[in-house]
């Protein structure tokens, strides 16, 4: 369950980090894309944690680590996507859990599209 905690905490930190980057950007398009991301992500993560704890019958333990924001929103989301793809296997393989993970992946990918192409 410790790896699950690290995975979920990384997702939570990305919501905080994108909120910080949302305030720091001088691009209106980036500001809006990051705003949508950090507003949507906590509910998606909450659903994931509750479903995982319900499916496993265990409470997830979380580390106390924090990673600071990347240099900009695009880099933050690219690094998050790479991490997410590499590490999602630490979560249960139950289809409902994987569907919740897919919703988070969709949010990441949609935000990457906006950051890359909507200037």
For residue range 43-102, list pLDDT tens digits in order.
Answer: 999 999 999 999 999 999 999 889 899 999 999 999 999 999 999 999 999 999 999 999
What SS3 state is found at 62? coil
Q: Is the pTM of the predicted complex or chain greater than 0.85?
A: yes
> CA quadruple 32, 33, 36, 39: dihedral positive or negative?
negative
CB 38 within 8 A of CB 94: no
16 pLDDT more than 80? yes
2 pLDDT more than 80? no
CATH placement of domain 2-117:
1.20.1260
Q: Rounded to whole angstroms, how far apart are CA atoms 94 and 116?
A: 33
Q: How many residues does the chain have?
A: 119
95 CB burial (10 A radius; 0-12, 13-18, 19+): exposed
CB 108 within 8 A of CB 80: yes
4 pLDDT more than 90? yes
Q: Rounded to whole angstroms, how far apart are CA atoms 45 and 101?
A: 9
């Amino acid at each position: 369950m410790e790896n699950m905690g690290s995975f979920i905490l990384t997702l939570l930190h990305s919501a905080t980090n994108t909120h910080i980057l949302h305030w720091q950007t001088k691009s209106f398009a980036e500001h809006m894309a990051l705003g949508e991301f950090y507003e949507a992500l906590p509910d998606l993560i909450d659903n994931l944690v509750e479903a995982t704890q319900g499916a496993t019958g265990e409470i997830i333990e979380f580390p106390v680590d924090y990673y600071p924001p990347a240099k900009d929103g695009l880099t933050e989301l690219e690094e998050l996507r790479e991490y997410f793809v590499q590490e999602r296997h630490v979560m249960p393989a139950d289809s409902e859990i994987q569907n919740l993970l897919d919703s988070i992946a969709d949010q990441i990918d949609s935000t990457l599209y906006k950051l890359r192409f909507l200037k």
